[in-house]
Amino acid sequence: MTITAAADGSALGNPGPAGWAWYVDDAHWEAGGWKHATNNQGELKAVLELFRATAHLDDDLLILCDSQYVINTVTKWMRGWKAKGWRKGDGKPVMNLEIIKELDEAMSGRRYTFEWVRGHAGHPMNEAADARARAVSEAFQAGRPIPHGPGWPRENDEADAARGAAATASVPLARVADRTPAPVDVLDDAVGTDSEPTLFSLDDPDLHEVTLWLTDDEHIRLYERARQEGVSAEELLRSLI
């Protein structure tokens, strides 16, 4: 069996708030990032974490990647760099060496193929990975919680099951009244109580608050749709009224 996955990175300002993500389907994806890093670091980290997440599986990996840097690093340059003591042909040290060494270790003994895809060209899996990586970089920039995703849940693994449940639980999106973005992957204190989301009046009779409950993945898709439209998530929702 072959697992097909897309891996992508994002950095606002490059370097700047950065994210990485790999995506197989809505039940199998993971994302993370840093407050300050480069796009290449995000691209490499996405592939590294994909190998780590699937290390317990005996399947081939087909990795869709829009980064020629990553593909060349893995398929052309890494072996020579390693033979030269992790230095390039001109004797200069290899950049992003820590991640590359970890990637070299994670790939050992694995069966994998890389396939280049053009970024931002409508490829569904590439777009899904890109949206999740960008959501992380934007979350770091805005100081919001980070959407980590469910990872690769393992059968009978209580820790992974709990993580998957948290990632797919409903979370509050936003307060329309004050337009404050809601957390992506941290549950509000009200989640898990017996109360249900309601529509109610505030002190101002002409102003109402609407609480919308979305899954982690729905939240990311909403913000990606809003970004494509050039509006905020709240403005996109208002346009539906």
Catalytic residues: 8-9, 43, 66, 120, 130
Alpha helices (H) along the chain: 39-53, 68-72, 78-83, 97-107, 124-142, 158-168, 216-229, 233-238
Across the chain, how many H-helices and E-strands are there? 8, 11
Q: How far apart are CA 3 and CA 210, in angstroms?
A: 40
Tell me the sheet residues that pair with 201: 208
Cβ(163)–Cβ(151) below 8 Å? yes
Q: How far apart are CA 204 and CA 225, in angstroms?
A: 31
Strand 174-175 and strand 180-181: the pairing is antiparallel
- Please, is 175 exposed, middle or buried when counting C-beta atoms within 10 Å of its C-beta (0-12, 13-18, 19+)? middle
Q: How far apart are CA 56 and CA 49, in angstroms?
A: 13
Q: What are φ and ψ of residue 130, in 5° steps? A: -60, -45
Q: Mapping DSSP to helix (H, G, I), strand (E, B) and coil, where does residue 43 land?
A: helix
Amino acid letter for position 173: L
